[in-house]
Amino acid sequence: MRLTLEKAKTILDENLKKRGYKERTIAGRLYYLKNFEAFLLQEQKNDLRSIQEEDIYSFIAFMREAISVRTGKPLSGRTLKMVLASVKLLFNSLYTQNLILFNPARNVALKTNDNSREKVIFSIREIDTFLEGIDIYATRGLRDRAIFELLYSSGLRIGEASGLDLSDIDFGERMLLVRQGKFSKDRIVPVSLAASKFLELYTKGRKDRKKPLFQSGRNHRLGVAGIEKRFHKHLGNTGIEKKGLTVHSIRHSCATHLLEAGADIRYVQELLGHESIETTAIYTHMLNENLRRTYKSHHPRENEMFVEIDDKYLKRLNEFKEQLEKQKEVREKSRIGKKRWAEKKRKNVEKEVYCMLELNKGRM
């Protein structure tokens, strides 16, 4: 019996559900497999057990030539990575279920020049400017300040913030219960004093603790799209012009600023709800990048006192090396000449001493 893509997608769906993936994430993974389906149709491959590693690389080449229906341009590096990640998940599921003898996608890597997935964060000054720029006396201003203070305080994902109920926060202990985070895991996180104060002001007088913590104008739960919309509104009012900032940048900023201040990486892992510490370790790489940028911006040898290494500089450097080599050769010849002269002089002295001894013997 053939192992078709349709059957494999059903297996993948079940596997991801068991692993705690959210419905929205699973739908996205399955959606990206439509590209693999088009490739299999073109190559007339209808049994996934026949797929080899070279077929996966052929699929990558196929994707590089594809044109996006939405933009009319070649697919971005980010899209290519998402598609390959879905294919990898597919074959990993089949392999763990013993439906294929080996995983042809296991060692396949994708190299792109796309930097769209680079994490963009706020500096400490920028996050202060953003938060303090939210007018709490404006319509929904107090709610928005409470939302973004909490996101920065506790490193929440936007969906986690949206899903909070009033009963999930303990104002006395300044602790927050995050229900059904990524991989359907609950966790308890601390809340900063500033975030707690704004949350208390926002929820003052509310008695039904089973209601959503953050509500829309109609007292319904404020969704992810609503939070994103308010974020961009307030960001535009601050005058911060850094490109690539999103609501998720607040979470990245929280983690990075904690590590910069000396927080233990294990604590940051627990705060963010990362299943693996390798995921949290990405932020240490970001610290290295920030250090490198700071160094290049402030070290005198990286600024006006630094001479760029160009062809002219390299030519002078090579000429200098040649001069050193010539001087080395001259010194070596001089050393050998002096050694020979000293050896010759030693032999002459020995000869003279020998002659004198022989002469003295003749006189005795």
User: Which residue numbers are catalytic?
Assistant: 157, 182, 248, 251, 274, 283
DSSP SS3 for 9:
helix
Gap between the Cα atoms of 121 and 202, Å rounded: 27
Gap between the Cα atoms of 289 and 257, Å rounded: 13
Gap between the Cα atoms of 265 and 267, Å rounded: 5
Gap between the Cα atoms of 184 and 23, Å rounded: 11
State the Rg of the chain over Cα: 35
Gap between the Cα atoms of 175 and 185, Å rounded: 17
CB 89 within 8 A of CB 12: yes
Contacts of 134 (CB under 8 A, 6+ apart): 141, 144, 145, 148, 234
DSSP 99: S
* Maximum Cα interatomic distance, the chain, rounded to a whole number of Å: 134
Instruction: Please state, as a whole number, how many other Cβ atoms lie within 10 Å of the Cβ of residue 32.
Output: 17
Q: Which residue has the tokens 């233990």?
A: 264
Q: Give residue 307's Cα distance to chain centre.
A: 32
3-state secondary structure 103-150: CCCCCCCCCCCCCCCCCCCCCHHHHHHHHHCCCCCCCCHHHHHHHHHH
Contacts of 232 (CB under 8 A, 6+ apart): none
CB 119 within 8 A of CB 282: yes
Q: Given strand 169-170, what is the order of strands in its sheet?
A: 169-170, 175-178, 187-190
Instruction: Please state, as a whole number, how many other Cβ atoms lie within 10 Å of the Cβ of residue 163.
Output: 20
The end-to-end CA distance of the chain, in Å, is 118
